[in-house]
Structure 1
């Protein structure tokens, strides 16, 4: 136990200069993060997700995802005419809305039926694989997803350490995964 006369080890005492230096460093990182945005990005933190245009609405679907007492949350969606039939499909990244942690995503291809119902036509990434969809884009009939995952059960669920990409295209009457980069450590240099 430390006595009031013993101030402790020098490296354990926080001085005002230490707090000011830490605050300045955090502010600089936050300012830099606010300025650096992907090309074409317009969303800001707190902005609602863009709504589907032309394709099925991802909010109207019952997903094959067991969330127990929790609802599902659509975190990303993209619209694209994958099969070239002139009708836009929607791809939705969906997870359980557990309110904490980083639940895995499912990635689903949605189509509209003749009766107007929206259905899951195909599961592109199964939630059982434990992946997190970080980014989802669609252009020129191609779908691209950036995926995060964990190298072991010991990795904190808030810090995925694997990174990979997958690209899908329509070929020979079906959706084909054209490129699936193997997950690699996200912080590997």
Structure 2
């Protein structure tokens, strides 16, 4: 009985020491994109409706965990840094906001009448690559008869100013704005 009490005492002390020396669990952090800069007033607004479809994404790029590219070009999902929404939802909202400067009406739903276009987007890159934020998107613009009007693959890279994920979120916002600026030029030149 005496050995049993000693064994329990030693076990309890060992458990207390191991519990005290254990690292605190890392807090999960959630990031949102910074608010886009106001665009210039566009006098060439298309007098039709644009339907913004939810973007598609390749595998891990569409999830809420932030994706980073390692030195060997492999992609990893971070376990403690997340987007507040999936990049598909974030980008659909950003595209709708951007499109409001170019189309008379912007919607997520297809209207019942004629005179609309559909914008589909595919996310090819939405990640942190060492000290850079990388965005690559492919856009497909269709008319109401499903005829392809525009197909463009556009990308932008922005340097991250400091080594934290808040700075990464700010840089990826700038990269998205740079992609939209490229898309503006393509739309002006082709439509």
Which structure has more RCO (C-alpha within 8 Å, separation ≥ 6)?
2
Same fold by TM (over 0.5)?
Answer: no
Say which structure is richer in helix.
Answer: 2
TM-score, structure 2 normalization: 0.30
**Which has more radius of gyration?**
2
TM-score, structure 1 normalization: 0.31
